[in-house]
Amino acid sequence: MKRKIYYLLLAPLSLLAITGCLKTNTTPNNVILPVGTFAGTFTRIHYSLQTGKLDTIKANIILTMAAATGYAVSGDTTHHAASHGGYSVDGQNIAFYDQTLPQVGTVVNPPIPVKTHLNGVYQYSYSTPAGSAGSSLQIIFTGDTVAYSYILAGQ
């Protein structure tokens, strides 16, 4: 009798173990690449460790995105650098590869660019239709002492 109970318990556990080893695809198949021309507001919020205060900078920018050529930033370049490069998305994050970012040398404390560059990994949300009127693109980065926000609408 003990042997029958053992086999009755072993069969479901074996099936559970086998199905747990099967590969599943967790990458979304329907990720839409943001493309088109977007205009809106860039905001940088910085927390100063020396003063304990927040300082905010805003600029109106234009972001042009194309799958074949990458992205380009233009518009009010007083506080945000005009830049261009490639980009990729995974459904939750968007990564920008700025080709105009100053190269880092062998200096121990390299200078930080005065203007913000659209470079690195950001969280994003995108609504279609592809960069046309009615679409929106929001790009956000939050670090320890700085946050960047791009609230853009399709043109």
Q: Give the model confidence (pLDDT) of 90-149 as tens digits.
A: 989 999 999 998 766 544 444 456 789 999 999 999 987 655 677 899 999 999 999 999
Tokens of 45: 């919020």
Helix (H) or strand (E) holding 49: none
pLDDT in tens, 61-96: 999 999 999 999 999 889 999 999 999 999 899 999
CATH number for the segment(s) 36-100+114-154: 2.40.128
Tokens of 119: 């470079």
Whether 58 shows a pLDDT value over 70: the answer reads yes
Whether 32 shows a pLDDT value over 60: the answer reads yes
> What pLDDT, on a 0 to 100 scale, did the predictor assign at position 114?
73
Residues forming beta bridges with residue 123, ordered by sequence position: 93, 140
Max CA separation in the chain (angstroms) = 83
> What pLDDT, on a 0 to 100 scale, did the predictor assign at position 140?
97
Q: CA-CA distance, 59 to 78, in Å (whole number)?
A: 8
Q: CA-CA distance, 131 to 65, in Å (whole number)?
A: 8
Q: CA-CA distance, 78 to 3, in Å (whole number)?
A: 79
CB-based contacts of 149, cutoff 8 Å, min separation 6 = 41, 42, 43, 44, 45, 138, 139, 140
